[in-house]
Amino acid sequence: MRILVAGRGLDSPRGPAVGIFELDQARALRDAGHDVRFAATDTRSLRRLRPWGFRRYRLEEIPVYYGALPCGALPQPLPAWAETAAARGIYRRVTQDGWTPQVIHQHFGGGFGDVARAAGVPYVYTEHSSTMNRPDLPPETARRARAHYGKADLLLCVSRGLAGNIRKNTGREAIVVPNIVDTGLFAPAPAEAAGRGEPFHFIAAGNLIHRKGYDLLLQALARTAGDGYACRLTVIGGGREEAALRTLARELGLDARAEFRGAMTRPAMAELYRQADAFVLASRRETFGVVYIEAMAAGLPVIATACGGPEDFIREEDGFLIPPEDPEALAGAMERMMRERERFQGTAIAAGARERFSPERVAARLTELYAQVVKRE
């Protein structure tokens, strides 16, 4: 099947800045035998240093059609207009190359909705946005979502919680298809070693922003220290709250316990996971939570908040779910993990992640869904 996967960014063949989840899916579909091309619409601010306009290149042997029309966070309808203009320019270049998709599958944004309708190509849309993961949306946000979802032959989303909020706010039913984990990269260490000695090593990953709850995590880490537990925390990620979080760590007396490693490549993250004892993240809200399944694929038990995404996939044998915004409950879960780590079997956790989130499993499900909309045409 000829599939055009549309997403954000991919603004450097040497290392895509954004759009990595969409690229995961494109790669999985390609490996499943489909003819896949990638459409990258980029309307981010001019302040971001990258070429703008239209260009073509290959990334991991996938043809990429890139269209950048920078407008940043300007008021609607300008960003939507720019996305659609970029999508039209990309589609024109795709067809000029003698290739016409049988399905267009868009993630984030919505520039290809009108393009697909005009071309008579089935349009599949996956909703990921944390903006939509609220039980009560502002009326204008809900109106725009209804208008865009109405263009989709098939609406997908990444978690049941998000599907429920979409239903409540727009009346549209969404089919849940989870994100992918690279199970070739994220895998347990050759010899499982539960209980590696003191200090117990927690690891966290994600952008350093308020929604990820790192302030709560540092507060919980300080509580474990006050309770006499020997543990340390490695934080992977960068973001606008980094300076404030480093200051908070110092104020809490965590200089020797909390290490900020900044943004890392996925291979570097996977290697660091193999040196840790458990994964923890105190997110306030998640549509899914890819970092959790990456940790699980590496054989780590996880501590997560029931914040919209993780409750879909974290089972009793995978770790602990706690309420969001509760540093005391988080500290209790961290202390419990240190006491009970040996009962979690890393190989079994990793096998469960492979079974549910491997590229092969997700690509097979998407292939079934694409066949439904192509058959209708």
For 282-340, the pLDDT digits (tens) are 999 999 999 999 999 999 999 999 999 999 999 999 999 999 999 999 999 999 999 99
pLDDT at 100: 97
pLDDT band at 11 (very low <50, low <70, confident <90, very high): low
What is the C-alpha separation between 354 and 5, in angstroms, rounded?
23
What is the C-alpha separation between 110 and 23, in angstroms, rounded?
17
Examine domains 2-180+358-376 and 200-356 and report if their fold is the same: yes
C-alpha torsion angle, residues 118, 115, 131, 363 (rounded to 10): 100
pLDDT at 103 over 90: yes
Instruction: Give Cβ neighbours of residue 29 (< 8 Å, ≥ 6 apart).
Output: 3, 5, 36, 363, 366, 367
Give residue-wise pLDDT tens across range 25-83: 999 999 999 999 999 888 766 555 566 689 899 988 899 999 887 776 656 666 777 88
Q: Which residues pair with 201 in a beta bridge?
A: 232
- At the topology level, CATH places domain 200-356 in Rossmann fold (3.40.50)
Residue ranges per structural domain of the chain? 2-180+358-376, 200-356
Mean pLDDT over the full length of the chain: 91
The class level of CATH for 2-180+358-376 reads: alpha beta
When pLDDT is averaged across residues 202-216 and rounded to a whole number, the result is: 97
pLDDT at 194: 45
Give residue-wise pLDDT tens across range 118-152: 999 999 999 998 888 888 999 999 999 999 999 99
Which phi-psi region, left, alpha or beta, contains residue 296 (left: φ > 0; alpha: ψ -120 to 50)? Answer: alpha
- pTM score of the predicted model: 0.90
Query: Quick check: 217 and 204 in contact, CB under 8 A?
Result: yes
Give residue-wise pLDDT tens across range 52-61: 689 899 988 8
What is the C-alpha separation between 172 and 62, in angstroms, rounded?
32
